[in-house]
């Protein structure tokens, strides 16, 4: 075998390994063919809500950093925090961070089994939970809203998509797929000093996965009640 052939064979082998690793990371957070669309949607949506480099953001359920990589690129050093319940998935996110050469941005990546017990020594202007709240049972969501209330600045905003309506719950990779009425979110959030507002369906906001858009897939914005009242 010639030197050129050996080099070509090595490049092909490396490409297959990288493709396999990327496919593994993509599969951990949903259909691989929707990876780029869902990545673009997250950064585009948050920038439209006013996210700028000087802001701090907590990404709840950051997974493999599908949405995290462009957010880390945008934000100032140390201004991104990602939290993930699955330790093995977070390790895939660290691989993604390394491949993107973004370790110098010093993001904080936290493995946490329960947001209700997680205490950070700072507050942030933005929190984000994409395709996460729909997989939380009532106890987990209560813990999430408690965490949000404690770590969101007085004028901060927390965005997360939910399934609104009455429907039997499903299952995805061992997590529930939960549907709840809007009134449930209003009443539950109020207990933690928060108020949710429906800002539109995912399709209306730019999330196009090629399927007919059920109007039940909504994006909610949570703010502190005092801020919502203008106090």
The two three-digit tokens of residue 22, written as one number = 């990327």
| Planar angle of CA 167, 172, 176, nearest 5 degrees | 50
Q: What's the residue count for the chain?
A: 231
> Domains of the chain: which residue ranges?
33-228
CATH architecture of 33-228: 3-Layer(aba) Sandwich (3.40)
At residue 16, the pLDDT reads: 45
At residue 195, the pLDDT reads: 98
pTM of the model: 0.83
> Which portions of the chain are predicted below pLDDT 50?
6-7, 10-20, 22-29
At residue 15, the pLDDT reads: 39
């Amino acid at each position: 075998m010639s030197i050129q052939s050996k080099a070509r064979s090595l490049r092909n082998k490396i490409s297959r390994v990288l493709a396999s690793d990327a496919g593994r990371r993509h599969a951990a957070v949903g259909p691989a063919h929707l990876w780029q669309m869902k990545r673009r949607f997250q950064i585009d949506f948050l920038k439209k809500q006013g996210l700028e480099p000087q802001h701090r953001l907590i990404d709840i359920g950051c997974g493999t950093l599908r949405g995290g990589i462009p957010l880390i690129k945008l934000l100032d050093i140390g201004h991104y925090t990602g939290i993930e319940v699955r330790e093995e998935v977070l390790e895939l996110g660290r691989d993604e961070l390394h491949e993107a050469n973004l370790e110098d941005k010093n993001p904080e990546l936290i493995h946490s089994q329960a947001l209700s017990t997680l205490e950070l020594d700072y507050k942030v202007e933005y929190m984000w939970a994409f395709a996460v709240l729909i997989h939380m049972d009532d106890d987990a969501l209560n813990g999430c809203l408690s965490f949000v209330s404690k770590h969101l600045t007085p004028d901060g905003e927390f965005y997360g998509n939910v399934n609104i309506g009455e429907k039997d719950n499903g299952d995805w990779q061992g997590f529930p797929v939960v549907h709840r009425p809007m009134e449930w979110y209003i009443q539950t959030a109020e207990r933690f000093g928060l108020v949710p507002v429906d800002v539109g369906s995912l399709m209306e906001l730019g999330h196009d996965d090629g399927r007919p858009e059920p109007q039940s897939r909504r994006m909610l914005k949570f703010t502190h009640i005092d801020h919502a009242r203008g106090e």
